[in-house]
Amino acid sequence: MVRSSAFRVAVIVLLAAQGIASAQTPPAKPQPPANPKPPVVTAAGEIIPPDGPPPRPPVGQLLNIRLDLTITDQRTNNSPATKTVTLLLSDRNSGRIRTSGDVKVGNTFRRINLNVDAMPEVLRDGRIRVGCTVEYVAQLGQGNQDENQPSTVFETFNVILADGRQTIVTQSADPASDRKVQVELKATVVK
C-alpha cells in the first residue's frame, strides 16, 4: 500500500512538473515570410491582398472624344487673338500637341509656343471628365519693345463637361499688363 501511495505521488509530481513546464514554454508561433508583401490599393480604392490577382488597368469605352480648346488673348487696345486646338482621343487615353514658331522682334527672333496635353474620360452619366495642361507663350503686341515682351500662361485643370457644350474653363489676367487670357473647352463624344 505504501508502494502504491508512493507511485501515486510520483505520478502526480510528474504530471504537475510537466504542466508547469508546458505553462512556461510558449507555443511555437508561425514564422512570418521573410519579405511580406503589402496589399495593393487600386486607383478606384479597391484593396487587393498580396497573393491576389494583379490589378487590371482601367479600360476605357470604345469611344472617341473630340476636344476643341480655344484660347482668346485680349488686350484693351487690340482686337482679341484666338487660337483653336483640336484633339481626337479615345476614352481614357491621353494626347498632346506641341506647336512653336519664331517671331521677329526688332533685330532678333523670339520663340512662341502653344502646347496642350489632355486626357478625356466618359463618365457613367454621359458627362466627360477632362484633365488638361495648357502652355501658351505669345507675343503681347506689335508696338514698342515693352509691348513685344513675351508672356506665358501655364494652366493645369480637371473639369467635368456636358457632352458638346463649350465651357469657359479658365480666365487669367497678366500681372504686368491689362491682358486677359480665356480658355474654353468643348468635349464631344464622336459616334
Residue 32's alpha-carbon distances to 26, 37, 49, 51, 171, in angstroms, are 17, 11, 16, 14, 57
Chain segment 144-184, per-residue pLDDT in tens = 555 556 678 999 999 999 999 999 999 998 887 788 999 99
Rounded to two decimals, the pTM is 0.66
CB 136 within 8 A of CB 152: yes
* Boundaries of every domain in the chain: 64-190
Which residues lie closer than 8 Å to 163 by C-beta, 6 or more apart?
126, 127, 128, 187, 188, 189
Which carries the bigger pLDDT value, residue 174 or residue 84?
Answer: 84
Per-residue pLDDT tens digits for 24-71: 556 667 666 666 677 767 666 667 666 666 666 667 889 999 999 999
Average pLDDT, the chain: 82
Rounded CA separation 167/135 (Å): 19
CA distance 30 to 150: 68
Give the closest residue to 68 by CA, choosing from 169, 188, 157: 188
Q: How far apart are CA 20 and CA 25, in angstroms?
A: 9
The residue type found at 180 is K
pLDDT > 80? residue 115:
yes
pLDDT > 70? residue 4: no
Distance of CA 102 to the CA centre of its chain: 33
